[in-house]
Amino acid sequence: MKTKTRIDQLFCVLGVIVALGWTGLLMARDHTDSHWVNLQGVLRDNNGNPLNGSFDMTFRFFDAAAGGNEILIDEHLSAGTGNVTVSGGLFNVALGSGNLLDGSGPGTFVRLSDVFGNVEAVYLEIQASGEVLSPRIGMRSAGSALNADHLDGKDAAEFLDTSGAAQTKAGDLSVGGSISVDEDLTLSDGSVLRAARPDPPCFGLSNRFEDCLNGTVTDTVTGLIWLEDASCPALGGQQLWMSANQAAVGLSDGTCGLTDNSSAGDWRLPTKDEWQMIVDQANTNGCSFPGPFVPDTLGLGCWSEGDPFSGVQSDRYWSSTSIANNPSSAWSAILDFGGVSSNRKTSINGVWPVRGGP
């Protein structure tokens, strides 16, 4: 009892001078996910002399300057995480870095950021070597800083980030209104919801080939949508078969005069059969060398510039169809003679993309 009395007298301190500041450190499972608040203070004996040595200290957080609810306990003990070193009366403690215990008050608090994220007013009580120092310290600016990445008790990571950084939402998401997506939306099963659907075919009352006024022309017989510009420079001119397919697939709105909301992947090269229908109709219409063997807008005559296509070349254009018994070759449309024939894939031919169709 005498020893305890001497210790009690030893800590009849003149006061604890406290400076608070947020360290911004993050920790892990044994409180490594907590924030720390740095506390500096001075311990003196009852004669005002600075103390030296190592002292067990316990820091308790309350919701009132006196009485109130105990929220969280932070122990810095020699038998636990280590006690506090005092030199020349000065000590420095990272609150939240000791052995953290839930307080006796309502709610569950396991880290310091929980306290400032959920309790409006927080007061610190210090116990040094068994003696409770008085008065409690109101933690205001430090608590506000610690709670700067919280809103309504939730961590910043729980809210939608409006930056360009990728973000993952764990669990279900329920939306009461509409969702606007600027890019395609890829689902977990690999399926893709398109942000914007390309314009559908357009139809008139008399033309076979209808100008949709968005850089595309619809074949109203087949429903196939053709690129209006048959020699768009952005497609790279005449190319090998593989490159021609890649150029067609990469076509999208904003290229080759398109304003049709199409995206890369919407377009492709025509098939052999789709080309065959074009040149067959041109032959039926009486088109002749040097072509090109492409029907006009009505579908009853032969093409001329802007009727309705532009830049049609009297030359070969690739199809997407390989030769079944000779996969090193593919079919191409011969628009100067009005036919469809095979070509080695190492040849160079024109690129005229289409999309949709039957």
Q: Which of 139-153, 178-192, 344-358 has the highest mean pLDDT?
A: 344-358
Backbone angles phi, psi at 216, to 5 degrees: -125, 160
* φ, ψ (nearest 5 deg) of residue 91: -140, 155
Instruction: Please tell me whether residue 41 adopts helix, strand or coil conformation.
Output: strand
Name residues whose C-beta falls within 8 Å of residue 186's C-beta, 6 or more positions apart in sequence.
192, 193
Neighbouring C-alpha atoms within 13 Å toward the C-beta of 218: 20
Q: Report the DSSP beta bridge partners of residue 76.
A: 57
Q: Please determine, for residue 179, whether its predicted confidence score (pLDDT) is greater than 90.
A: no
Residue 57, pLDDT above cutoff 90: yes
Q: What's the confidence (pLDDT) of residue 225?
A: 98
| SS3 of 171-195 | CCCCCCCCCCCCCCEECCCCCEECC
Report the range of poorest mean pLDDT among 90-99, 238-247, 287-296, 304-313. Answer: 90-99
If one counts every other C-beta atom within 10 angstroms of the C-beta of residue 229, the result is 22
**Tokens linked to 11:** 């800590």
Are 117 and 144 a contacting pair, CB within 8 Å?
Answer: no
Mean pLDDT, the chain, whole residue set: 84
Nearest to 111 by CA among 97, 121, 124, 123: 97
pLDDT digits (tens, 9 = 90+) for 135-157: 898 876 555 555 555 565 566 66
Return the closest-CA partner of residue 13 out of 62, 65, 48, 55.
48
In this prediction, residues 57-63 reach a mean pLDDT of 95
For the whole model, what pTM was predicted?
A: 0.52
Q: Checking DSSP bridges between strand 224-227 and strand 216-219, what pairing results, if any?
A: antiparallel
pLDDT tens, position by position, 99-130? 999 999 999 998 888 888 788 889 999 998 88
Structural domain spans, the chain: 2-156, 209-356
**Which residues in 70-95 are b (16+ Cβ under 10 Å) and which e?**
bbbbbbbeeeeeebbebeebebebbb
* CA end-to-end span of the chain: 98
pLDDT one-digit tens code per residue, 198-249: 999 999 999 999 999 999 999 999 999 999 999 999 999 999 999 999 999 9
Give 239's DSSP letter.
B
CATH architecture, domain defined by 2-156: Sandwich (2.60)
Residues in the chain: 358
- According to the model, what pLDDT value does residue 154 have? 64
- Is the pLDDT score of 294 beyond 90? yes
Contact 257, 233 (CB under 8 A): no
User: Which is nearest to 41 in space by CA: 59, 27, 26, 24?
Assistant: 59
pLDDT band at 194 (very low <50, low <70, confident <90, very high): low
CB atoms closer than 10 angstroms to residue 115: 27
Peptide bond into 198 cis (omega under 30): no
Widest CA span in the chain: 122
Residue position matching structure tokens 């005229």: 352
Which pLDDT band, with edges at 50, 70 and 90, does 62 fall under? very high
Structure tokens belonging to residue 295: 């029907």
**Contact at 8 Å (CB) between 60 and 73?**
yes
The answer to whether 223 and 212 have CB atoms below 8 angstroms apart is no
pLDDT at 56 over 60: yes
Instruction: Inform me whether the pLDDT recorded for 23 exceeds 70.
Output: no
